[in-house]
């Protein structure tokens, strides 16, 4: 655990009473878990989300069903809420900026804007690299067809990514040649993109950090991630492979990055560990993160509790991990046996001694859709891994996964 303080951030409008409403832009599962933590501390939560039956809206004290940029909805949120946050980065930054004129908003529109655009994100990481010592992958910005022919052979093979709206492997295409790059860019309708060189990746880690309005910051243990088809499959904490030196470098870099933009709230930064043991910074999420769900069951304070604390001016919680754990994402696939809809064997899963099941309240299971997660928290990593294997067998999930 790391705890640092820097110059205070002005936050005159932080709520001083747990009777105040907290506002949440977004109605997904991250918002739902935030609602539960906020209510545990006595706060009421208002969710603004256009979808009617959304996970966060089911749990919230009030749900405004409207677009994120609806003027009347934003005005109502500003009237009722003392402090406002978001559960995903693709809400309009302009809405956050408007709300911040009269209410405390964390993270700020400026911080969210960086994470919304891969071009700005790469520029931010590159600017901070002199201090952090960790660079993003070699890359090039592609704004038009004319930019394609200026791409050097040294960036191949690479991954073409849309600058905006990409997540869980969406908006990404692997390319090996300039001809493939031309084809992929045409299929993306010529939107702003970034071409990243593919590096010799050993594995991915993520660093979860939280910062308060007073400059206090805490960083969680290193999480090691495995992906399947671009979607997070498992997270293991503590990381079984990262060296102490690389872990410290990543944690210190996260603290420097979050302080550089005067960020308030929870931020997740993903790093790649290369085959030679060096680090490269991949991307950041200005919110709680899928890879941080383990904190709900294996740490003294969860990432969602930290989000509540940061936006209400409460002291940040202890980030100590009390037990080894593995988190397994549950996708809608486990509800299907071929084309037949079935009920997963939750009773057998919950008979496993280390299993903590979290379902998100989504009515319709679909293949590839995140429906919940299971955290296996045990006295040893061996036991947690054994229960993970048992749960996968019970749910029909193959343990073979890509990195």
Give the pLDDT confidence score for residue 185 in this predicted structure. Answer: 94
Can you give the pLDDT at residue 17? Answer: 53
Q: What percent of the chain stands above pLDDT 90? A: 88
Q: What is the mean pLDDT of residues 178-195?
A: 93
Residue 171 CB coordination number (10 Å): 18
Q: Is the pLDDT of residue 74 over 50?
A: yes
User: Rounded to an integer, what distance in angstroms lies between the CA atom of residue 87 and that of residue 307?
Assistant: 10
The pLDDT, as a whole number, for residue 165 is 74
Q: Which residues are annotated as a binding site?
A: 118, 161, 166-172, 196-199, 204, 227, 282-283
Distance CA 299, CA 302 (A): 6
Residue-range domains of the chain with CATH: 2-116 (3.40.50.20), 138-197 (3.30.1490.20), 201-395 (3.30.470.20)
CB distance 221 to 238 below 8 Å: yes
DSSP H/E element including 79: helix 71-80
Encoding tokens for residue 173?
């295409």
7: confidence class by pLDDT, cuts 50, 70, 90 = very low
On average, the pLDDT of the chain sits at 93
Measured CA to CA, the distance from residue 339 to residue 76 in angstroms comes to: 44
Q: Residue 44 — pLDDT band, cuts 50, 70, 90?
A: very high
Which residues contact residue 322 at a Cβ distance below 8 angstroms, ignoring those fewer than 6 apart? 298, 299, 300
- Residue 15: the pLDDT is 56
Query: What is the average pLDDT across 322-332?
Result: 98
167 has a pLDDT exceeding 80:
no
Structure confidence by residue, pLDDT tens digits, 234-285: 999 999 999 999 999 999 999 999 999 999 999 999 999 999 999 999 999 9
pLDDT (0 to 100) of residue 9:
40
Nearest to 28 by CA among 328, 285, 394, 317: 285
pLDDT digits (tens, 9 = 90+) for 355-375: 999 999 999 999 999 999 999
- Confidence check: pLDDT of 117 > 60: yes
Residue 228, helix vs strand vs coil: strand
Confidence of residue 320 (pLDDT cuts 50, 70, 90): very high
Binding residues for ATP: 118, 161, 166-172, 196-199, 204, 227, 282-283
| Distance, CA of 274 to CA of 352 (rounded, Å) | 35
CB crowding 291-330: b at 16 or more within 10 Å, else e = bbbbbbbbbebbbbbbbbbbbbbbebbebebebbbbbbbb
In angstroms, the CA 168 to CA 148 distance is 25
Residue 166 has pLDDT above 70, yes or no: no
SS3 content of the chain, % helix, strand, coil (to 5): 35, 30, 40
Q: Is the pLDDT of residue 5 over 50?
A: no
pLDDT above 80 for 62: yes
Distance of CA 359 to the CA centre of its chain: 18
What gap in Å lies between CA 398 and CA 402, rounded to an integer?
11
Please give the model's pTM, rounded to 2 decimal places: 0.93
State the average pLDDT over residues 159-187.
87
**pLDDT range class, residue 168, cuts 50, 70, 90:** low
41-46 contacts, C-beta under 8 A, 24 or more apart: 41/305, 41/308, 41/312, 41/314, 42/18, 43/15, 43/18, 43/308, 43/312, 44/19, 44/20, 45/21, 46/21, 46/22, 46/77, 46/80, 46/81
Which token pair is 134?
A: 């960790």
Q: Is the pLDDT of residue 310 over 70?
A: yes
- Within 13 Å and on the Cβ side, how many CA atoms surround 271? 31
């Amino acid at each position: 655990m790391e705890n640092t303080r820097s110059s205070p951030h002005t936050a005159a409008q932080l709520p001083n009473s747990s009777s105040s409403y907290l506002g949440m832009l977004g109605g997904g599962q991250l918002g739902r878990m935030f609602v539960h933590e906020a209510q545990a501390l006595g706060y009421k939560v208002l969710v603004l989300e256009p979808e009617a039956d959304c996970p966060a809206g089911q749990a919230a004290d009030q749900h405004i069903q409207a677009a994120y940029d609806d003027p009347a909805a934003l005005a109502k949120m500003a009237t009722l809420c003392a402090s406002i946050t978001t559960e995903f980065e693709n809400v309009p930054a302009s809405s956050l900026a408007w709300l911040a004129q009269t209410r405390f908003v964390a993270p700020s529109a400026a911080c969210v804007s960086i994470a919304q655009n891969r071009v700005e994100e790469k520029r931010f990481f590159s600017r901070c690299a002199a201090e952090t010592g960790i660079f993003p992958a070699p890359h090039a910005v592609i704004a038009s067809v004319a930019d394609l022919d200026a791409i050097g052979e040294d960036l191949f093979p690479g991954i073409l990514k849309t600058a905006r709206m990409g997540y869980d492997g969406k908006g990404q295409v692997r390319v090996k040649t300039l001809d493939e790059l031309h084809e992929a860019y045409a299929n993306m309708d010529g939107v702003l993109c970034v071409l990243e060189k593919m590096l010799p990746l050993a594995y991915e880690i993520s660093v979860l950090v939280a910062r308060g309005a007073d400059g206090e910051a805490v960083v969680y243990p290193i999480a090691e991630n495995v992906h399947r088809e671009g979607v997070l499959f498992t997270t293991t904490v503590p990381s079984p492979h990262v060296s102490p030196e690389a872990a410290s470098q990543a944690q210190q870099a996260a603290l420097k990055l979050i302080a550089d933009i005067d960020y308030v709230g929870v931020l997740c930064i993903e790093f790649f560990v290369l085959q030679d043991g060096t680090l490269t910074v991949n991307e950041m999420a200005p919110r709680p993160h899928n890879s941080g769900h383990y904190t709900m069951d294996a740490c003294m304070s969860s990432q969602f509790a930290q989000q509540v604390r940061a936006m209400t001016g409460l002291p940040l919680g202890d980030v100590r991990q009390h037990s080894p754990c593995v988190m397994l994402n549950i996708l809608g696939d486990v509800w299907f046996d071929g084309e037949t809809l079935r009920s997963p064997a939750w009773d057998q899963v919950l008979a496993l001694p280390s299993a903590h099941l979290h379902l998100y309240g989504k009515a319709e299971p679909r293949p590839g859709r995140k429906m919940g997660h299971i955290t296996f928290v045990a006295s040893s990593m061996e036991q947690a891994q054994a229960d993970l294997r048992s749960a996968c067998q019970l749910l029909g999930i193959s343990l073979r996964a890509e990195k």
